[in-house]
Amino acid sequence: MSKKIKIDLVSDVVCPWCVIGYKRLEQAIKELDIADKIEIEWQPFELNPNMPAQGQDVEEHITEKYGSTPEQQKESQERMTDFGAELGFKFDYFKGMRMANTFNAHVLLDYAKTNGKQTELKMRLMNAFFGERKDVSNRDILKQELEAVGLSATKAFTLLDNEELRTKVRSEENYWKSLGVNSVPTVVFNRKSALTGAQPVAVYKQVLNELLES
């Protein structure tokens, strides 16, 4: 029972199901009281890798990408808001909400990982986008969120323009795609098995228990 379970969470900052999936996984870990036996690492995935710097209206983007009508989108957003409320996360969808380019956020999450603050920054960015109407591609916003978790924005921003680090993050995105990850969240356990989509808490508990007993 001394071994740790390594969990790779492949996700994007602007993915609502990634929030739900993580919060349910977090609840499963809490209910099993095994936080000390879990090691979590967030892996980069861009839902919209070609998103322009200025972003795009959410309704317009979802219609273009999935063919959803405004009514279907509203229904989906209401369902997401309810799921979030059950898990203590606030979704605040609003007219004129814009999708953001998240590549810089992923570069900063890589920096946060080396400082032991990756999960904290990931949740701050998700809260900022979904709950606080903030543009997570805006450098002023990124600076605020870095500082909110106790990281040096000055140091982080020198890395944002570091071509070596940007290439590393691109390579990591491509690595997960090469393994067949094409939708998120994808939760990978010990690099051996995976669950796709936001699973119920009971499913995460079952998998974690099996891994602890194996």
Long-range contacts from 24-32, C-beta under 8 angstroms, 24+ separation: 24/87, 24/198, 24/199, 24/200, 24/201, 24/204, 25/187, 25/204, 27/87, 27/201, 28/201, 28/202, 28/204, 28/205, 28/208, 29/204, 29/208, 31/201, 31/205, 32/205, 32/208, 32/209
Backbone angles phi, psi at 150, to 5 degrees: 80, 25
Reported as a single tens digit per residue, the pLDDT across 158-171 is: 999 999 999 999 99
1 pLDDT exceeds 60?
no
pLDDT above 90 covers a percentage of the chain that reads: 97
Does a cis peptide bond (omega within 30 degrees of 0) precede residue 52?
Answer: no
**pLDDT of 106 strictly over 60:** yes
| pLDDT-derived band at 214, boundaries 50, 70, 90 | confident
CATH of span 5-213: 3.40.30.10
Q: Give the closest residue to 191 by CA, choosing from 4, 2, 1.
A: 4
Tell me phi and psi for residue 198, to 5 degrees: -80, 100
For helices 103-114 and 118-131, angle between their N-to-C axes, nearest 10 degrees = 150
Q: State the pLDDT confidence band at 3, using cuts at 50, 70 and 90.
A: confident
